[in-house]
Amino acid sequence: AQIAMAKVFRNGDFRSGYYRDQTFMFAIGELTLQEYFAQLYAHTEVEADPASAGRLMNGHFATRMIDEQGEFKTLTKSKNSSSDISPTAGQMPRLVGLAYASKLFRENPLLSGYDTLSIKGNEIAFGTIGNASTSEGVFFEAINAAGVLQVPMLMSVWDDEYGISVPAKYQTTKGNISKILQGFQRTSSEKGFEIITAKGWDYEALCKAYEKAEEVCRKEHVPVLFHVTELTQPQGHSTSGSHERYKSKERLAWELDHDCIKKMRSWILEQEIANAGELDAIEKEAKSVAKAAKDAAWKAFNKDIQKAQQALSPILAKLATSHDEIRLIKEELDAAINPLRLDAMKAAKRAVRILRGLESEERNELVAWVRKNEDDNWERYSSHLYSQSQQSALNVEAIPAVYSESSSLLDGREILHACFDHALERDPRIFALGEDVGKIGDVNQAFAGLQNKYGELRVTDAGIREATIIGQGIGAALRGLRPITEIQYLDYLLYAVQILSDDVACLQYRTKGGQKAPLIIRTRGHRLEGVWHSGSPMGMILHSLRGIYVLVPRDMTQAAGFYNTMLKSDDPALIIECLNGYRLKEKLPDNIGEFCVPLGIPETLKAGSDVTVVTYGSMCRVVMDAVTELEKVGISCEVIDVQTLLPFDRHHSILDSVKKTNRIVFADEDVPGGATAFMMQKVIEEQGAYEYLDSKPLCITAKEHRPAYGSDGDYFSKPNPEEIFDKIYEMMGEVEPERFPPLY
């Protein structure tokens, strides 16, 4: 089936599959046998494992779609595979987006000049999934989205009737995914899917069926569900055990008889394409070629590892002459069978411990080896979490907002409206997508009227399906477009956190800079009223989305500056607007479409001398209200808006404030131990502010429960000015009890 599919996969097409498609990758020429084994051994050189540089488990495939400068290659001249992830059905949202990009390239005439990215939207997005994984909710969400959108998505389901050990009768209604999706079949009067089935062992029928599927999908932009049945699993799911544990003798016998390789051989003989002797020779040669590739990959892997050990060995040898313990360490390392990098590092660090307190040239040489290899291994295993190109968000130059006497005073939503209007006018690759974004211009009107101005393809309504809204953004961004995908409320980000965490956040990392998806996720959150309309789950976001910048503007002007910054960059970002700020008045910058707010640079909202208060978002106004009251009793607070949580205070300006005040308070609307704990770790531990504190650090947070409904619910669930006043007053009372006697 994978070979048949490969025959209709053209230059410019994209794959978004599960991690069992090695036959397909071999067939399209984007994977060699040696690369396959290099990934198995976790070889960390990009040249050895182009998909992941040893960062992904075996069987996870990807092509390198950007060059060393971070620029997109000519994707129309290559066969492209987005990077695989292990979570079942995790490839589905991205698949919708890859297909959706073809729709945009075909139907938006302003994109016709981007011929390195698409040729008139003729590209198909090929998806693959196992039958059991179709039980995941995101599979059905993606199928529905593709049917609504009418995009060129060719979805193959590999069906061996099992999900590891669990048979189809426990996985799928009627035990058959194409049967239960018959309602999606298009008719002469209604759009939908083309549904095709074929048996996995019938190569000739598969080739004909895939030719039909390709024609419908590529020419008409009709999504296709291609259900491949009667497949076999020749071994167990993994090396942990054989499939004989859970399959009957009858099933095992059937699988032996219907093995695809066996059936292929029979078909070749029947068609007289080759004779038995020729096929025997091919099989023998195939085994020899595979073994040679395995051996070559193993040799290259070990040669790469041995470089570090070869540099360490003479250092240990010199030290061993005067230290018996180090002699034993060296002998143990030399005797190790197939040593890894960790073995050399462990040996070196054990030797360093033995030499503690001693000074010698040999010890210095050993320490230098450790430091160099720590740096080298950081590059091997930890680089590229974010973009390292010149287009990195951290390289975007700050451009201050410019105001004049004629600058208008507008609602916050109107500030954003002007920003988005300029962005859409400036770059045809930019489009906005989300629930209620199109016709009414989003629930807070920041896109009001822009669909009429730029068309439905640029400002687009979507169904209530957060995971595939994000997926549309991922796939489009992978193909060089610039999506702004909206999650209507921050509380609903949970629907998409899995795909953001598993796919977007780690994309540059898991491909070591081979792919990028610079989408912007726009949402709104923090205090308002209502359990699911006033959430601020920042700790969850910070800990699950490393690899995505998290921007928390206090007002819509700052938000606009962040949108301008991120649209110049090739990093993904989550921008969280303040729910209660859309109707607050702000001045419209004269350069609304150009000014850029830098990332990781806090802003001091008020200078002070007694206490540093660190906060962000909607809490800035709450803190400022409290600080005004504290001033009346003689307490001077320095208020700092961090502006971005990822990255956080890149130049340690908060430390400079603590050096002056010697006290610090972290305040936000997250639960205790959430983002305030993150900020405390950054400032107290990482920046070293603990050395300058005269009082213990203080965190002011929301309660542990969800915020209650109503104004009273908000007041007693979230930090309020009176609570902030009381806690900072109490802090100062411990220092000067006579000046600040107890309030209660």
CA angle 645/649/651 to nearest 5° reads 160
Within 151-204, strands assigned E span: 153-158, 162-163, 166-167, 194-199
Neighbouring CB atoms inside 10 A of 698's CB total 18
Please name which of 118, 161, 149 lies closest in space to residue 255, comparing C-alpha atoms.
161
Active-site residue, from 35, 466, 486, 586:
466
Give the amino acid at 462.
A
Report d(CA 345, CA 335) in Å as an integer: 15
Neighbouring CB atoms inside 10 A of 406's CB total 7
Within 8-134, strands assigned E span: 14-16, 80-81, 125-130
Asked if 466 is an active-site residue, the reply is yes
- The tokens describing 475, both together, are 């796939």
Q: Would you state the torsion angle of the CA atoms of residues 3, 51, 79, 238, taken in this order, to the nearest 10 degrees? A: 20
The partner residues of 16 in beta bridges, in order of sequence, read 127
Rg of the chain over all Cα atoms, to the nearest angstrom: 30
The partner residues of 166 in beta bridges, in order of sequence, read 163
Cβ-contact 262, 255 below 8 angstroms: no
Neighbouring CB atoms inside 10 A of 86's CB total 12
Report d(CA 415, CA 681) in Å as an integer: 35
**Which residue matches tokens 């300058």?**
692
Q: What residues contact residue 627 under an 8 Å CB cut-off, 6+ apart?
A: 606, 608, 613, 637, 639
Question: How far is CA 403 from its chain centroid?
Answer: 37
Cβ-contact 319, 351 below 8 angstroms: yes
Q: Would you state the torsion angle of the CA atoms of residues 454, 457, 460, 466, taken in this order, to the nearest 10 degrees? A: -150
Question: How far is CA 515 from its chain centroid?
Answer: 11
Report d(CA 619, CA 622) in Å as an integer: 5
Report d(CA 58, CA 22) in Å as an integer: 10
Q: What are phi and psi of 227, to 5 degrees?
A: -95, 110
Q: What residues contact residue 379 under an 8 Å CB cut-off, 6+ apart?
A: none
Please name which of 664, 663, 655, 666 lies closest in space to residue 689, comparing C-alpha atoms.
655
Provide the 8-state DSSP code for 84: P
The partner residues of 86 in beta bridges, in order of sequence, read none
- CA torsion sign for 170, 166, 84, 185 is negative
CA distances from 110 to 215, 218, 704 (A): 26, 21, 50
Q: Would you put residue 480 in left (φ > 0), alpha (ψ -120 to 50) or beta?
A: left
Please name which of 658, 653, 660, 669 lies closest in space to residue 615, comparing C-alpha atoms.
669
Report d(CA 591, CA 334) in Å as an integer: 65
Active-site residue, from 533, 577, 586, 638:
533
The residues that are catalytic are 466, 533
